[in-house]
Amino acid sequence: MFPGPLGQSLAGRALSEGRWSLTVVDIRDFARDKHRTVDDTPFGGGPGMVMRPDVLANALDATLADADGSSGQPLIYFSPRGRRLDQALVHEVKAAGGATLLCGRFEGVDERLLQARPVVEVSLGDFVLSGGEIAAYALLDAVVRLLPGVMGAEESGTEESFADGLLEYPQYTRPQEWEGQAVPDVLLSGHHEKIAAWRREMAEKITAERRPDLWERYRRRKPAGKN
């Protein structure tokens, strides 16, 4: 499953250039029976299977021991009950220089593993996936695109949604008029200060309308007297 989509486009080019790296660990390699079993039925009954703590601990301990310079890097387990994945967490992983990602399957992992190891639970959103791999793609892609040299323009990382707590302003390109809709005059004016002010106004308006939670946090952080 990996690198999967991470082997394409900007992330794929950056991977081939060595700007980031990915080590994939097969948890079954750490099972102790001939069937390479990694899961078992849940105590107390119920549907599905649960990933075994002993097998996962063996895999995690070996992976962390082999990692070079991983001190301080988070150990992330993707779970619906975890911290919501957001741009702040993306920057934390980038600043840490990487992370170890545990992709659960079945009904999840034995709770004792989460208590015995410094696991940070992270959620992609309020929905359930078949496994943590898709959530891992999302986090990795979000981090990789922030690395130096990955995106073409340095401004791309600073003038986009969530960069300053706001959703991004509307974007326009050619043709200048399409299906009766024209590009806003201010964007054709060549007046950079007016363009910047318009983009800020639009970003604030869209954020207030569509994400009241982000808007309230932005308002609390914005310096007094700043428009």
| Domain ranges (residues) in the chain | 4-144, 159-221
- pLDDT tens string, the chain, 227 residues long: the values are 999 999 999 999 999 999 999 999 999 999 999 999 999 999 999 999 999 999 999 999 999 998 765 678 999 999 999 999 999 999 999 999 999 999 999 899 999 999 999 999 999 999 999 999 999 999 999 999 999 999 976 555 566 778 789 999 999 999 999 999 999 999 999 999 999 999 999 999 999 999 999 999 999 987 655 55
Return the CATH class of domain 159-221: mainly alpha
From CA 53, how far away is CA 77, in angstroms rounded?
13
Angle at 128 between CA 125 and CA 131, to 5 degrees: 105
| Cis before 42? omega within 30 | no
Tell how strand 100-102 and strand 75-84 pair up. parallel
User: CATH assignment of 4-144, given 3.40.50.2020, 3.40.1280.10, 1.10.150.120, 3.40.1310.30?
Assistant: 3.40.1280.10
Q: Is 69 left (phi over 0), alpha (psi -120 to 50) or beta?
A: left
What does the DSSP 8-state code read for residue 176?
S
Amino acid at 110: D
What length does the chain have?
227
Intra-chain end-to-end CA distance of the chain, in Å:
47
Distances (CA, A) of 202 to 73, 86, 97, 168, 223: 37, 22, 34, 8, 19
Q: Hey, which bits of the chain come out as E strands?
A: 39-40, 50-51, 75-84, 100-102, 119-123, 177-178, 181-182
From CA 200, how far away is CA 213, in angstroms rounded?
18
Residues 6+ apart with CB under 8 A from 119: 75, 76, 77, 102, 113
Q: Is 10 exposed, middle or buried (0-12, 13-18, 19+ CB in 10 A)?
A: middle
Q: Please indicate, yes or no, whether the overall pTM of this predicted structure exceeds 0.75.
A: yes
